[in-house]
Structure 1
Amino acid sequence: MATFIVETHYVPELQDKRLAARPLHLQNLDVMRERHQLVNAGPLADGSGAFLIYTVGSRRELDRLLEADPYPKDAVQVSAVREWKPNFEF
C-alpha cells in the first residue's frame, strides 16, 4: 500500500458551486473511510483548500478516486499530490 497526501485549492469565485456539491463530497469521503482508502481529510483553517491523506494500492487507484469525487473540478483543484512515507501505521 502507498500513502498519498493530496492538497486542494478552492476557487473563491466558485464557492457556491463547491458548497452545492459538498454533501455528496462528504458522503464520498465517508465511503472511502469505510473502505480504508482515506485516512483523514479536512479543510485548511483559512478556507483556501484542504488536505486529504489516502492509503491505496497505487497512484493509478488514487487518480481514479480523485476523478470520482463529486466536487466540481473547476471549483476544487488539486494543487499537489505527494507520496508520503509515514513513520507510524494508521
Structure 2
Amino acid sequence: MWIVELAFGAEPERLAARPAHRELLGKLHAAGTVRMAGPLADDSGAVIVLDTADPQEVLRNDPYFSTPGVTVVSVREWHPIVS
C-alpha cells in the first residue's frame, strides 16, 4: 500500500477541479485501488491510501494532482499490520 500526502494552496483552480477528482476517487475506491481518502481537518491538505503496485499511475491519471493549489508532498510505501 501507499500513502499519498497532499498540501493545498488557495488557488481557485483546486476547488474547481475537486468534484471530478472526488468522482474519480469514488470509482477507484469501488475498484479497490483507493482504500481511504480525505482532507485533513484544517483543509491544509489530504491523505490518500492506495492499494496498488504503481501509485504513480494513479497520480498520472488524475489531473487534480497537477492542478495549481495541489502539491504532492510525499508518496510513501506503507506496510499496515492491521486493517
The match for 2:72 is 78
The match for 1:7 is 5
Query: Structure 2 length normalisation: TM-score?
Result: 0.90
Shift of 1:75: 1.9
- Runs of at least 4 residues of structure 1 off by over 2 A? none
| Structure 1: runs of 5+ lacking an equivalent | none
Q: Take 2:38 and 2:81, find their aligned partners in 1: how far apart are those partners?
A: 21
Q: Take 1:65 and 1:49, find their aligned partners in 2: how far apart are those partners?
A: 18
Larger radius of gyration: 1
Query: Structure 1 length normalisation: TM-score?
Result: 0.84
When the two chains are superposed, the root-mean-square deviation of aligned CA atoms in Å is: 1.2
Aligned pairs, how many? 82
User: In the alignment, does 2:57 pair up with 1:64?
Assistant: yes
| Structure 2: runs of 5+ lacking an equivalent | none
Q: Take 1:86 and 1:72, find their aligned partners in 2: how far apart are those partners?
A: 25
